[in-house]
């Protein structure tokens, strides 16, 4: 058994919360381990002047940490799973999917105003094309504004009066103790989340069996089934973090239900579909369900929507 572990992480408050949480959980199971954190600045942390959709999303928040993992400067990397591309670099693997927090998105607004009650042409801040697409399908009048930076920075911009409202993931808001600022929690019927939203992905080297054995203790089976189904859907659609694709899977007593959305950026076209599979006994079967639903969406016309988005962006 190893005596030391080095965790690689971004330095934002939320990323540090995630890394400290992982450290605490591992220490609880393996008190003899000496666990330290190594902070890594990623491309996504540096390029803050451009919308994410303009600079691409191929590992913006993960690639630089993965380099340290490949060169053995760290033993594991802790990521927000929604930031992790569906294809990991050769030699690396997501070993654990931690138990998921609430996957829903939330509205932060002035005076607690709900989405449907926001004034005409209200300035809504989000950096996500997925959220933009679904928002505009409901409220085409909204003035969508791009917002970058960590959660604290976003709240500061909102408090400075730059926007009427902003949309964030419940998980981050809750973990950093901003829950009292939530105006509305949006149900999945209104807003499907990003693939993997609310879960942490703990990445290790494939050949580091000792670390993988240690980290596997944090894997949450239900979350793994759900996230692998969602990630398989996204991978088959050749999507990414900055493509308007939303998905949410639930898994109970061997039954997986997967909901998905693919839409145009302006929200004028939106495809919804779902699949339910019973008797699942392996995560690979959950992945197969994700691929099957992706195929159904492609038959509905998802390929034409996504091709147009890729062409223009």
Q: Which residues contact 108 (CB under 8 A, 6 or more apart)?
A: 155, 158, 165, 166, 167, 168, 173, 181, 182, 183
Distance from C-alpha of 245 to C-alpha of 302, rounded to nearest angstrom: 10
Query: Residue 241 phi/psi, 5° resolution?
Result: -60, -30
Three-state DSSP at 270 gives: strand
Yes or no: say if 211 and 2 are a contact pair by the CB < 8 Å rule.
yes
Point out the catalytic residue in the list 45, 64, 75, 83. Answer: 83
Query: Nearest-CA neighbor of 145 among 240, 51, 57?
Result: 51
Residues 6+ apart with CB under 8 A from 308: 264
Closest CA to 239 of 195, 299, 296: 195
Vertex 223 angle, CA 18 and 282, to 5°: 140
User: Which of 286, 289, 311, 193 has the alpha carbon at shortest distance from 241?
Assistant: 193
What's the rounded Cα separation, in Å, for the pair 125 and 128?
A: 9
* DSSP-based three-state secondary structure for 49: coil
Count the alpha carbons within 13 Å of 269 in the hemisphere toward its beta carbon: 15
Nearest-angstrom CA–CA distance, 27 and 17: 15
Q: Which two tokens stand for residue 271?
A: 């495809």
Active site residue 57: no
Give me the active site residues, please. Answer: 83
């Amino acid at each position: 058994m190893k005596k030391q572990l080095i965790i690689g992480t971004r330095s934002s408050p939320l990323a540090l919360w995630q890394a400290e949480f992982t450290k605490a959980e591992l220490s609880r199971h393996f008190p003899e381990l000496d666990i330290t954190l190594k902070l890594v600045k990623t491309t996504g942390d540096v390029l803050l002047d451009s919308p994410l959709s303009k600079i691409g999303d191929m590992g913006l928040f993960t690639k630089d940490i993965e380099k340290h993992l490949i060169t053995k400067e760290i033993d594991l990397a802790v990521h927000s799973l929604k930031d992790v591309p569906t294809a990991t670099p050769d030699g690396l693997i997501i070993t654990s999917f931690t138990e998921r927090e609430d996957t829903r998105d939330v509205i932060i607004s002035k005076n607690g105003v709900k989405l449907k009650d926001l004034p005409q042409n209200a300035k809504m801040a989000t950096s996500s094309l997925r959220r933009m697409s679904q928002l505009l399908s409901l409220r085409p009048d909204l003035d969508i504004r791009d917002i970058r930076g960590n959660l604290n920075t976003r709240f500061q911009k909102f408090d400075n009066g730059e926007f009427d409202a902003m949309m964030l993931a419940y998980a981050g808001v809750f973990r950093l103790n901003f829950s009292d600022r939530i105006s509305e929690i949006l149900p999945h019927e209104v807003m499907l989340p990003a693939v993997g939203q609310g879960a942490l992905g703990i990445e290790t080297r494939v050949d580091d069996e000792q670390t993988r054995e240690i980290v596997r203790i944090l894997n949450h089976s239900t979350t793994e089934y759900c996230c692998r189904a969602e990630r398989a859907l996204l991978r088959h659609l050749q999507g990414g973090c900055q493509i308007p694709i939303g998905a949410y899977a639930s898994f109970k007593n061997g039954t997986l239900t997967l909901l998905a959305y693919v839409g145009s950026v302006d929200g004028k076209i939106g495809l919804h579909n779902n699949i339910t599979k019973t008797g699942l006994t392996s995560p690979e079967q959950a992945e197969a369900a994700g691929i099957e639903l992706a195929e159904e969406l492609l038959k509905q016309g998802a390929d034409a929507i996504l091709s147009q988005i890729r062409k223009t962006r």
